[in-house]
Amino acid sequence: MHQNLLMVSKALKEKFLIWFQQSNRYLVCDTVIHSMLEDLETGISPEALIKTIAQESELELNAIQDIVNNVVELRATYLNPLDLIPQHTPKHIPETFKIERFFKVNDTVFKVSYLSELETSYLDPKFEHLNIPYSNTFDYHFKVFNEADITYLVVNDQVINGWTYKDIHYFLGKFGMELIQGIYNKPEEEWMGVFHGSAISNQKGCALLLGDSGNGKSTALALLQAAGFHCIADDFIPIAAKDQLVYPLPAAISVKTTSVPYLLPLYPELKDTKEYHLKRLDKHVRYLNPNNFNTNHKRPAKALIFIKYKPESDLIVNEIPEDEALEQLIPDSWISSLEINAKAFMYWFSKLKYYQLTYSDNDKMIASVNNICNS
Amino acid sequence: MKSNKHITRAEALKKMGKYAALTATSTFLLLNPKTAAAQTVGTDTGDTSGSRPGSIWK
């Protein structure tokens, strides 16, 4: 039986980008697949589609049947939504908490109550620089506690969710989402997505530094910041749906310990900052405060730069095709599942430029990123 | 939403031979975004490989 999926398509330069509402999944394909999916979507049967294609092409019938069957199978995979993060509810919300922190961003005060040191260790490295002394008044009260091996987040007495240790990066993600919702007074449905990378800007433009973990995104961000660029976000890049601007998040920048000797002349404070071991990524990091945090510094991104530090490499900067950019971008991103926001994402992406940048010489990398932001 | 820059299916199929057309239907990318926002874990008290970080949780 035919089951209608809401399918939204966006023509890119060479390919089509398609979003399926039912599963919030994306497909990048060419004209042939796109047009077949559209026909199937309007209710045309596979048999009728085979007949139509036989009339419009010189292909043999069995070849056409193979093609159509492949596309029907492909379409069926989109009936399956992705696995969602499980929802947990605590038996009790503790009445007393061992540790209290107060963060202030502009005029918004966040009180964060922790039951134990472990939870503070997740968040302090990123947000310690925002701490203020005790405050009688606050706008948001976050409670973080562990119950039966699940870490819970409660905001203003509403349970947001609980996460097992395996999913603790999603707890931090939700904490970041709640923080930006509070700072900018925008509920979750008003955010287009959150991208994994660093966002920087100069006087003329903003770019996102992306790429696999360990490629040196944050180190590049620290170098660019020291060269006069504005750090908008590190690790967690929120973009709002309506204006599609990158919104600043005041988290500290994590730099690999191996980069510290190169960064020390620029950031002497790194000498005495605490070191953290990120075991899963097998790297040691220190945290650097963003040097000019300003919530008004919202910027439209011009380009995605997939950056890679490679020892002794010449500077190589290439524009890359949109499908290569999407392949690297989407699996590492949270993109809102609302139709209007998915459309905003597709439009936003289509207006960008995409680069692969490999470097070993810091000055050349900085000059190149400067050119991209200026273009 | 079809763009004028894009050729029609009939044109695309005509340009391809039989085997190229078959290949075309297997050259697509299925991409799954994360189902929730995430942040890199910045802790020195354990790893995030799924094992519990020991005494702190007891």
- For residues A361 and A317, the answer to whether their CB atoms sit within 8 Å is no
Predicted confidence (pLDDT) at residue A142 exceeds the cutoff of 50:
yes
HSE on the CB side for A280, CA within 13 Å?
A: 19
Per CB-CB distance under 8 Å, the chain A contacts of B48 are 165-166, 168-169, 278-280
Q: Find the mean pLDDT for residues A219-226.
A: 95
Judged by CB atoms closer than 8 Å, whether chains meet at A33 and B28 is answered as yes
In percent, the amount of chain A with pLDDT more than 70 equals 97
Instruction: Look at residue B55 in the predicted model and tell me its pLDDT.
Output: 28
Q: Whats the size of chain B, residue-wise?
A: 58
Higher-pLDDT residue of A148 and B19 is A148
Instruction: Look at residue B50 in the predicted model and tell me its pLDDT.
Output: 36
B58 touches chain A (CB under 8 A): no
Residue range A166-208, pLDDT digits in tens:
899 999 999 999 999 999 999 999 999 999 999 999 999 999 9
- pLDDT band of residue A372 (cuts 50, 70, 90) is very high
Element containing residue A233 per DSSP (H, E): strand A230-234
- pLDDT band of residue B2 (cuts 50, 70, 90) is very low
- For residues A345 and A336, the answer to whether their CB atoms sit within 8 Å is yes
User: What global pTM score does this model have?
Assistant: 0.91
Beta bridge partners of A99: A114
B window 7-46, beta carbon within 8 A of A: 7-10, 12-14, 16, 18, 21-22, 24-46
Q: Find the mean pLDDT for residues A210-237.
A: 92
A28 touches chain B (CB under 8 A): yes
Among A47-51, A102-106, A143-147, A283-287, the minimum mean pLDDT is found in A283-287
Predicted confidence (pLDDT) at residue B45 exceeds the cutoff of 70:
no
- For residues A97 and A113, the answer to whether their CB atoms sit within 8 Å is yes
- pLDDT band of residue A1 (cuts 50, 70, 90) is very low
Long-range pairs for A308-311: beta carbons < 8 A, 24 or more residues apart: A308/A211, A308/A215, A308/A216, A308/A356, A308/A357, A308/A358, A308/A359, A309/A215, A309/A216, A309/A219, A309/A220, A309/A358, A309/A359, A309/A360, A310/A358, A310/A359, A310/A360, A311/A360
Instruction: Look at residue A75 in the predicted model and tell me its pLDDT.
Output: 87
Instruction: Look at residue B43 in the predicted model and tell me its pLDDT.
Output: 55
Structure tokens, A291: 């040097």
A window 336-375, beta carbon within 8 A of B: none
CA distance B44 to B52: 13
Judged by CB atoms closer than 8 Å, whether chains meet at A60 and B18 is answered as yes
- For residues B31 and A26, the answer to whether their CB atoms sit within 8 Å is yes
Residue range A263-318, pLDDT digits in tens:
999 999 999 898 887 766 677 889 999 877 789 999 999 999 999 999 999 999 99
CA distance A4 to A6: 7
Judged by CB atoms closer than 8 Å, whether chains meet at A173 and B33 is answered as no
Residue range B4-43, pLDDT digits in tens:
456 788 787 777 665 665 666 667 888 999 999 998 876 5
Element containing residue A207 per DSSP (H, E): strand A206-210
Instruction: Look at residue A186 in the predicted model and tell me its pLDDT.
Output: 97
Judged by CB atoms closer than 8 Å, whether chains meet at A121 and B45 is answered as yes
Which residues are CB-contacts of A107 (< 8 A; sequence separation ≥ 6)?
Answer: none
SS3 A8: strand
Give the closest residue to A276 by CA, choosing from A121, A78, A52. Answer: A121
Which residue among A165, A213, A323 sits closest to B52, beta carbon to beta carbon? A165
Which residue among A59, A117, A333 sits closest to B18, beta carbon to beta carbon? A59
Predicted confidence (pLDDT) at residue A156 exceeds the cutoff of 90:
yes
B3 touches chain A (CB under 8 A): yes
